Amino acid sequence: MKEVKLVISRYDPAEDDRPHYEKYIVPWKYGLTVLDALNYIKENIDSSLSFRQGCRSAICGSCALRVDKRGCLACKTMIAEKTGEIIIDPLNHYKVIRDLVVDLTPFYERMKQIQPYLVRNNTVQMTGKEMFIRPEALAEAKNLRDCILCGSCHSDCNTLDVDNTFCGPAALVKALRFASDPRDENKGRLAQAVELGLYKCPVDQECEFACPKEINIRRGTIERLRYLAVKNELAPLPEHKKLINSVLSTGGIVPVKAKPTTEMFPEYIKKFNGEPQAEVLLFLGCIINRRKQNVAEAIINIFQNNHVAVHLPGKVTCCGSPFMRIGQRDSMRPFVEKNFSIFNEYASRGITDVVTSCSGCNSTFRHDFPKLAREFEIPLNFRIYDVGEYMSEKIVLDVEGLKSTNIRAMYHYPCHIRASGLAENIYINLIQKIPGVELVKVPKSGYCCGGGGGVRAAFPDLADRLAIRRIEIAKESGIDTLITNCPFCVLSFERVLQLKEETGEKMEFRIIDFYEMFSEAYGSFPN
């Protein structure tokens, strides 16, 4: 008989000082859900195991809990055949009543802050005839009504980890559901959303990954609300205005302090002999181009080692991500036009692979630009890749040339990479090609560096707390090195490590840039 092991958090406040884990063996069969397994334990092993359950079809939201540290519905979570062991915890950010049962009161109370009901001043006459509303007028609200208020999003929210004044994702979904309903007469909803923390979300999408109803929380809700806030002149926030002024005057969110990479290298870089195995357009993004020249050099070096010829156009501009993230979608046109016309121009010469080194740019090009380009009728004759993705999937990677190194670390999976639909394993597999690197499994991917969504600019303390929290989580697993491949993450971590050092609370911790590590393993080219 096939079996699966469940490690379940048990806690009875009348008996226990704190929760502890207990292990249970459950027979496995195809289609076994976590809820089935819990019921098996309750009926056959230990009748005192406490959990909530209801419809067992993902509509009532009763059975929300965490499986391997991520919020989900027990009834909807199938246990795969090869699962050795799974860890079951109660939802995070709530007081545990017993075992897997939490007190959701704070979640419901937070919801009440946004007036979660239709506000109408006139009363409807009960004539037996409905209001006439065209379906398109309700289309947006209709898309948001799937929320079952299970609390999974709230459990996995990174911001709530460090700031419990934030109203949380579900409340914002509800806010937009009413703000987009033509029948609603509460004109203050957007101002309220801004007040309750709309700009405190680093758009890391943890909530969206947890959501069992697949609600589009990040782009469809948070960024949409931000867009509406900008339209209604409730945003951008003053700090965001500074940020975008920098983009408008210098073409990037970070000022030019040292010589940018694009001025250090020729437009065409091919140091190897013979035919290239690929030819790419490398879009560095402002942070790597202006601040992290060493990362840019590392990427170029990796490509040279692998006989990939690199085009490095100097005239590209900001990817526009800061504008999108804070709600200024209407300012995007020049960025799309300029960058995509350059990409198209290269494509007309046969260079159709655009590779970005910054995951923020990548995610913006992949998700936001195509829609905008359609609106502006700009063709897309090229394909966007992330550098790591390109290394993993588009070229034959030289593995022989990787020299051994001695690193024990955890990989920090950047949210923008995940938002681009790129699996964590792409990067883990790449790292593991370097001999001598020991990667420690993360308790859960998706912890936030605090660097996304404009949080660092508007709420620097919050961003710092997120970064510190992320480092602490790694330390709790006995790890003092993180490898990551997003410049926002790297800058965030470096900043808090420096801050801590300045205040005399030095954290023994090291951040390694993924590309620099790779480049070092190859040695500089030609070697």
Residues engaged in binding another protein (CB under 8 A)? 12-15, 31, 42-44, 47-48, 50-62, 76, 97-99, 101, 103-104, 108, 112, 115-118, 120, 123-124, 126-135, 138, 141-142, 145-146, 148-149, 178, 181, 183-184, 214
What's the closest the beta carbon of residue 210 comes to another protein, in angstroms?
15
C-alpha span between 367 and 379 (Å, rounded) = 15
- Nearest to another protein of 38, 384 (CB atom): 38
Query: Is 281 in a helix, a strand, or coil?
Result: strand
Nearer to another protein, 89 or 297 (CB): 89
Least distance (Å) from another protein to the CB of residue 419? 22
> Identity (one letter) of the amino acid at 26?
V
- Of the two residues 16 and 393, which places its CB atom closer to another protein in the complex? 16
In the complex, minimum distance from the CB of residue 40 to another protein, in angstroms, rounded to a whole number:
10
Q: Write out the H or E segment, with its range, that includes residue 501.
A: helix 487-502
- The C-alpha atoms of residue 301 and residue 47 are separated, in whole angstroms, by 61
* Residue 474 to residue 485: CA distance in whole angstroms: 16
Distance CA 220, CA 180 (A): 12
Distance CA 201, CA 176 (A): 15
Residue 511, strand partner residues: 482
Shortest Cβ 115–another protein spacing (Å): 8
Q: How far is the CB of 217 from another protein (least distance, A)?
A: 17
Q: Name the nearest CA neighbour of 469 among 93, 72, 196.
A: 93
Question: What number of residues does the chain have?
Answer: 527
Q: Which among 131, 146, 134, 183 is positioned nearest to 61, based on CA atoms?
A: 146
Q: Which is nearer to another protein, 56 or 219 (CB)?
A: 56
DSSP 263-322: HHS-SEE--SSS--SEEEEEE--HHHHHT-HHHHHHHHHHHHHTTEEEE--S------HH
SS (HEC) of 375-409: HCCCCCCCEEEEHHHHHHHCCCCCCCCCCCCCEEE
Place of tokens 């002149």: 233
Q: Which is nearer to another protein, 117 or 268 (CB)?
A: 117
Min separation Cβ 197 and another protein, Å: 20
Structure tokens at 54: 């209801």
Residue with tokens 């790419």: 280
Pairing between β-strand 353-356 and β-strand 278-283 as defined by DSSP bridges: parallel
- Give the Cβ contact number of residue 140 at 10 Å: 16
Query: In this complex, which beta carbon is closest to another protein, that of residue 107 or of residue 303?
Result: 107
Nearer to another protein, 14 or 396 (CB): 14
Q: How far is the CB of 234 from another protein (least distance, A)?
A: 23
| C-beta of 108 vs 376, nearer to another protein | 108
Residue with smaller CB distance to another protein, 149 or 462: 149
- In the numeric block, which tokens belong to residue 498? 């420096």
- Quick check: bond before 414 cis, omega within 30? no
**DSSP string over 438-493:** EEPPPS-S----S-STTHHHH-HHHHHHHHHHHHHHHHHTT--EEEE--HHHHHHH
Q: Distance (Å, rounded) from C-alpha 357 to C-alpha 416?
A: 12
Closest separation in Å from C-beta 27 to another protein: 16
Phi and psi at residue 397, to the nearest 5°: -80, 135
Smallest separation (angstroms) from another protein to the CB of 213: 8
Inter-residue contact 416 to 486 (CB < 8 Å):
yes
Asked if 409 and 481 count as a contact pair (C-beta separation under 8 A), the reply is: yes
- Compute the least distance from the CB of residue 98 to another protein, in Å: 4
Q: Considering the complex, state which of residue 57 and residue 249 has its C-beta at the smaller distance from another protein.
A: 57
Question: Nearer Cβ to another protein, position 41 or 310?
Answer: 41
Q: How far is the CB of 117 from another protein (least distance, A)?
A: 4
Per DSSP (E only), the strands in 203-330 are: 268-269, 278-283, 308-311
| CB nearer another protein, residue 25 or residue 133 | 133
Identify whether the C-beta of residue 386 lies closer than 8 Å to the C-beta of residue 350: no
CB 243, min distance to another protein, A? 37
Report the nearest approach of another protein to the CB of residue 170 (Å): 12
